[in-house]
Amino acid sequence: MLLVVDAGNTQTHIGAFRGAELVEHWRFATVRESTADELGAALRSLLSLRGLAFSDIDASIVSSTVPQLRPEWTAMASRYLGHEMPAVGPSVRTGMPLRFDSPREIGPDRLVNAVAAYEHVQGACVVVDFGTAVTFDCVSDDGEYLGGIIFPGLEISLEALSERAAALPRIDLGEPRSLIGKTTVDAVRSGVVYGFAAMVDGIIARLRGELGDDLTAIATGGLAGTVVPYCDSIDEVDDQLTLDGLRLIWERQP
């Protein structure tokens, strides 16, 4: 079985594949100070919940947007899984040409998403990832990574609003009751959800004007379900996109 790890700034998403089939997956909060032993203990507990063990894992790969966690994950694999865990980066083959001025600056999760999206669409596409930031990653019709757009995420925006505006409370994200809020909480929630939806639709409209109307927009990320129902421009939602991309990149290694 193949273990894939997407260690993001806020959440870590782990999947176990048997061939192309995702057998199981888990999410937990990312702790940036985690050691290899702590990651190993967490992984063992998650596997045991489904009757699996370290011995069931034949290979693994990690993508981490938290630099200090990359060596911890690779050390965990060496110690507990008994094999080398490649980390997505400049030395890992993705099979995707990069039309980007500074390829080393591309977030590994963004590149993984682009690989998975193009494999699925086989044409021009954009991935909108709703995580700590909202990122847009564009792929040409020929399968080239073109670059992207980065926007502050929903939770970051809410935190900044409550910190800078003393009279505004910190709220939980959720479905707006109406466009026009009848309470302060409703007004903030409406502004965040409808505002981000309008931002996504506006950017995708501009991207289609530049890259063509047949550009496929795929949404992913932990907060996609909050915003996408209010968007008009998203074609698909794929919560497992990053996991699939990690599997594809692992299959492309020599």
Is residue 109 annotated as part of the catalytic site, yes or no? Answer: yes
Which residue in the list 6, 109, 129, 238 is annotated as catalytic? 109
Contact yes or no for 216/125 (Cβ under 8 A): yes
- Phi, psi dihedral angles at 244 (to 5 degrees): -65, -40
The DSSP code for 99 is -
Cα separations in angstroms, 69 against 26, 33, 225, 235: 18, 8, 27, 33
Classify residue 151 by burial, with Cβ atoms within 10 Å: 0-12, 13-18, 19+.
middle
Q: What are the residues whose beta carbons fall under 8 Å from the beta carbon of 15, sequence distance 6 or more?
A: 3, 4, 22, 24, 25, 26, 240, 243, 246, 247
Residue that is written with structure tokens 């702590």 in the block? 38
- Phi, psi dihedral angles at 123 (to 5 degrees): -170, -175
Q: Which residues does the annotation mark as catalytic? A: 109
